């Protein structure tokens, strides 16, 4: 995986060389962790492109930018899984490398602004078309790979991470209150806005056309089919799934470097392991996290059984309180677009360990969204008055110490629910679509991207493939939810092909014992958190100290949210780059 960045100035004005050098150097430095293997730059007319490379495919020759004979140039952060098929289709194109991303360049030269419709993969792509005076940005339909932009009077800036835009001086580090309020409510944001004023995301599946440093057109590619005829025959559906899954995992393994996977005790990662074991001659390298000496459910037993049955090389990583206190400031630094999902802690530590052995990791994100695995989805489908609508509870509801709960905190989610209901008449599909539009790209996938890229590791998510989403949305509701459990068809396939996964064992929610760890040092931590400017701005005097002095199961999530926000605000808004553990960082 890689980092991309660039700028387009208005009115065709060229950037002075000394200014350009500083600008490119700052953006490249901010993205160096995403691409430690090489750096490439291109200046043409009023556009500069910057690329930091993590070499995965065609290591010797796949340097970027790619530049065609007509001057069209491309930089990409991604993997194009149908590259070989596209090369066969683009017979007249002169390919210069074996990189999978080069096919996107020639596809654009043939198809123009709709080129992304044919891409199968995860990608954040920037194209400069000098003949048309145009910059094109495109992001994959699920939002696996990120692009951010700042549209200013001085120019149009873009980058893989907001911190590169801040380093370039595209905008000042100021909080956008409405997005911050969403983060405090959901632990992630919806829509295009970020908690940084003036910095927005390219939406999942969106292609932007930029001319004269202004967005002139937006094209949207949907991740999910609007409707499909149901595969009502279970036997046929299971056979079709086996074929789809085999092909999907096969292409997601394409790499010229070592790869492995993250293995939990759940069935999504077990499905990845089961198919990888079928496709690989050598043992699959699987990494599992655990939380020793805590009340959190230990997933090692299930992961060990699955790894043993698959003949995998199993690496277990213990994540303890010491890791939490030591690594959390670095995690907050990596999560510049803040996700306050406590799973960032084990994900970061797993990636740190995996980086010793591999450069690519497959994981099971997306299985719950596409196959209806969440309890909140089933609760929302119950008949009135027993149904329970999702995303109705504010994350700080049990805290009571906010100066104000903004009345707009749920506006973005309400808009998504309305859009999904109008596009998907099937009620289950509409609920799944909300998760795929909000929770998935702006929490789960952002977490994977930042935590892995912080260590120069590429994360791949085979469930989030167009072939898989098309299949999942062709299933009848009963093939997803049966007997009070979600993911019925996936469970049945695992039960038939990989019994060690114990696929029909009731799902246990994944927990990280952050409340337990915080409670152990709460009285010491509370005053440090309370005096942070970002916290003082949003919380009533005395409320934070009182919360941290008595952290328990009921209010632990609130303590975690405020702690993470304090660290994020200090690092990314104030600009404090303090080293050391949580206590040193907040001091």
Task: Please provide the DSSP assignment of 532-563 as one string.
Answer: SHHHHHHB-TTHHHHHHHT--TTTHHHHHHHH
Instruction: Look at residues 373, 376, 378, 381 and name the one whose alpha carbon lies nearest to residue 393.
Output: 376
CA distance 87 to 92: 9
Domain ranges within the chain, ordered by starting residue: 2-220, 234-501, 514-586
Residue keyed to tokens 């980058």: 159
Packing angle of the helix pair 344-354, 321-334 (nearest 10 deg): 90
Q: How many residues does the chain have?
A: 587
10 phi-psi bin (left φ>0, alpha ψ -120 to 50, beta other): beta
Helix H segments across 454-571?
Answer: 466-472, 488-497, 514-520, 522-530, 533-538, 543-549, 556-569
Strand-pairing partners, residue 3, are 52
Q: Give the right CATH number for 234-501 from 3.40.50.620, 3.40.1360.10, 3.10.580.10, 3.40.50.2000.
A: 3.40.50.620
- Residue 1's pLDDT is 66
CA distance 459 to 146: 13
2-220 has which CATH code?
3.60.20.10
- Residue 387's pLDDT is 83
- Residue 228's pLDDT is 65
Q: Specify whether the CB–CB gap between 137 and 202 falls below 8 A.
A: yes
- Residue 549's pLDDT is 96
pTM attached to this predicted model: 0.96
Grouped pLDDT means (10 residues each) for the chain, 587 residues: 93 83 94 95 93 92 94 97 96 93 97 97 98 97 98 96 97 97 96 97 98 97 82 90 98 96 95 98 96 88 95 97 97 97 97 97 97 94 87 92 94 96 93 96 98 97 97 94 95 97 82 94 96 97 96 94 98 92 96
3-state secondary structure of 352: helix
- Residue 86's pLDDT is 97
Instruction: Look at residues 224, 441, 259 and name the one whose alpha carbon lies nearest to residue 337.
Output: 441
Query: What's the number of CA atoms in the CB half-sphere (13 Å) around residue 418?
Result: 6
């Amino acid at each position: 995986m890689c980092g991309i960045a660039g700028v387009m100035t208005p009115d065709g004005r060229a950037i002075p060389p000394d200014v350009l050098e500083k600008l490119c150097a700052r953006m490249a430095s901010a993205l160096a962790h995403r691409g430690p293997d090489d750096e490439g730059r291109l200046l043409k007319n009023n556009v500069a492109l910057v690329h930091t490379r993590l070499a995965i495919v065609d290591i010797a020759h796949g340097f970027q930018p790619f530049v065609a004979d007509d001057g069209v140039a491309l930089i990409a952060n991604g993997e194009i899984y149908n590259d070989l098929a596209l090369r066969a289709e683009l017979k007249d194109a002169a390919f210069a490398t074996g990189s999978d991303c080069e096919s996107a360049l020639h596809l654009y030269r043939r198809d123009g602004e709709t080129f992304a419709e044919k891409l199968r993969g995860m990608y954040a792509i920037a194209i400069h078309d000098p003949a048309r005076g145009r910059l094109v940005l495109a992001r994959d339909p699920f939002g696996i790979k990120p692009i951010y932009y700042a549209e200013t009077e001085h120019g149009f800036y873009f980058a893989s991470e907001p911190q590169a835009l801040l380093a370039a001086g595209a905008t000042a580090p100021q909080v956008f209150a409405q997005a911050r309020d969403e983060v405090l409510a959901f632990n992630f944001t919806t829509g295009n806005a970020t908690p940084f004023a003036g910095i927005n995301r390219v939406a999942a599946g969106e292609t932007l056309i930029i001319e004269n440093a202004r967005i002139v057109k937006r094209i949207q590619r949907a991740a999910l089919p609007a409707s499909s005829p149901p595969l009502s025959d279970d036997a046929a559906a299971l056979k079709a799934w086996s074929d789809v899954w085999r092909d999907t995992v096969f292409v997601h393994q394409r790499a010229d470097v070592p790869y492995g996977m993250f293995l939990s005790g759940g069935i999504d990662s077990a499905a990845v392991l089961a198919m990888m074991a079928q496709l690989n001659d050598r043992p699959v390298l699987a990494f599992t996290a655990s939380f020793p000496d805590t009340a959190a459910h230990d997933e090692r037993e299930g992961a060990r059984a699955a790894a043993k049955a698959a003949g995998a090389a199993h690496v277990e990583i213990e994540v303890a309180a010491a890791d939490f206190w030591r690594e959390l400031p670095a995690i907050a630094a990596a999560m510049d677009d803040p996700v306050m999902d406590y799973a960032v802690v084990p994900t970061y530590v797993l990636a740190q360990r995996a980086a010793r052995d591999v450069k690519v990791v497959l994981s099971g994100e997306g299985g719950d969204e596409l196959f209806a695995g969440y309890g909140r989805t089933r609760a929302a489908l119950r008949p009135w008055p027993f149904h329970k609508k999702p995303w109705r509870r504010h994350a700080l509801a049990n805290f009571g110490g906010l100066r104000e709960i903004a009345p707009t905190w749920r506006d973005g989610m309400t808009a998504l629910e309305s859009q999904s209901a109008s596009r998907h008449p099937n009620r289950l599909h509409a609920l799944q679509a909300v998760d795929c539009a909000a929770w998935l790209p702006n929490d789960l996938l952002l977490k994977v991207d930042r935590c892995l890229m912080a260590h120069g590791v590429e994360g791949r998510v085979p469930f989030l493939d167009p072939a898989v989403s098309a299949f999942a949305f062709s299933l009848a509701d009963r093939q997803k939810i049966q007997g009070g459990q979600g993911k019925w068809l996936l469970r049945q396939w695992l039960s038939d092909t990989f019994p060690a996964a114990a696929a029909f064992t009731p799902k246990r929610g994944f927990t990280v014992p952050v409340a337990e760890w915080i409670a152990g040092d709460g009285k010491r931590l509370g005053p440090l958190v309370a005096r942070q400017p970002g916290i003082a701005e949003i919380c009533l005097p005395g409320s934070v100290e009182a919360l941290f002095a008595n952290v328990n199961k009921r209010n632990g999530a609130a303590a975690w949210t405020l702690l993470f926000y304090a660290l994020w605000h200090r690092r990314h808004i104030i600009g404090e780059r303090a080293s050391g553990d949580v206590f040193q960082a907040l001091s």
